Structure 1
C-alpha cells in the first residue's frame, strides 16, 4: 500500500522505515540494518554463489541486531 501511495520502490520504503525506527530509538544502527536489507536484496534475484556466501557470512551479525530490536520493542510495549 505504501508503494501505491508514495510511488516508492520496496527497498526505499524499507530503508525509510529503518531510518524512522532509528529516530525512535528502536534500532541502534540504521546503516547496519540497511546493510542487512541490501544483503537480502542482493540474493533475491541473483543466483551467484559468491554473493550467497557473502550474505551467509553476514547472518551471525544479524542475530544480535534482531534480538536487540525485539528487546526494544518489548520494552516499548511495557
Structure 2
C-alpha cells in the first residue's frame, strides 16, 4: 500500500497563504479580508477531509480488517490514530476540536463564527504538517 501526502501538504500551503494574506489585509471591513478568510476556511475544510482519508489508510496498516476501519466515523478514526500512536493524546483532542469546528462551519455562515475558526488555524496548520510527516513515516516504515 502506498501513501502520498502531497495533496495534504498542498492544502496546508494554500491555508498558509490565505492566513498570510489576512495578515496583509487585517481590516475586517475590507472585502479582501472576507475573501482570504473564506479561502482559509475552505482550505481548512478540504485539508481536514484529506487528513481523515489518509488517517483511514494509515490505520489499515494496524488492523487485520480494513473494512472495520472503513466503518469508523471520523472521530473514531482520530481516537484510533491516538491508540496506535499516529497522534498523541493532546493531538487527538485538538483534532477532535478541529472536526467539531468544521462540522459547525458547514451549518453556520456567520462572520462571527468564521472569525472564531480563524483563531484555530495557526495551530491547525502546524498540526496538519506534522500529521503529514507522521503519516509518511508510518507508510515508509511499513513498506
Q: Please give the range of the TM-score, normalised by the shorter of the 2 chains.
A: 0.7 to 0.9
Aligned equivalents of 2:115 and 2:83: distance in 1?
32
Counterpart position of 2:64: none
Q: Which residue of 1 aligns with 2:94?
A: 32
Cα deviation, residue 46, structure 1: 1.1
**Runs of 4+ more than 3 Å apart:** none
**What is the CA-CA distance between 1:27 and the residue it aligns to?**
1.4
> Which residue in the other structure is 1:67 paired with?
129
The CA RMSD over aligned residues, in Å, is 2.0
When normalised by structure 2's length, the TM-score is 0.45
Matched, 1:54 2:142: no
Normalised to the residue count of structure 1, the TM-score between the two structures is: 0.78
The residue aligned with 2:81 is 21
* CA drift at 1:56: 1.3
Report how many aligned residue pairs link the two structures.
70
**Gapped runs of 5+ residues in structure 2?**
1-66
Unpaired runs of at least 5, structure 1: 7-11
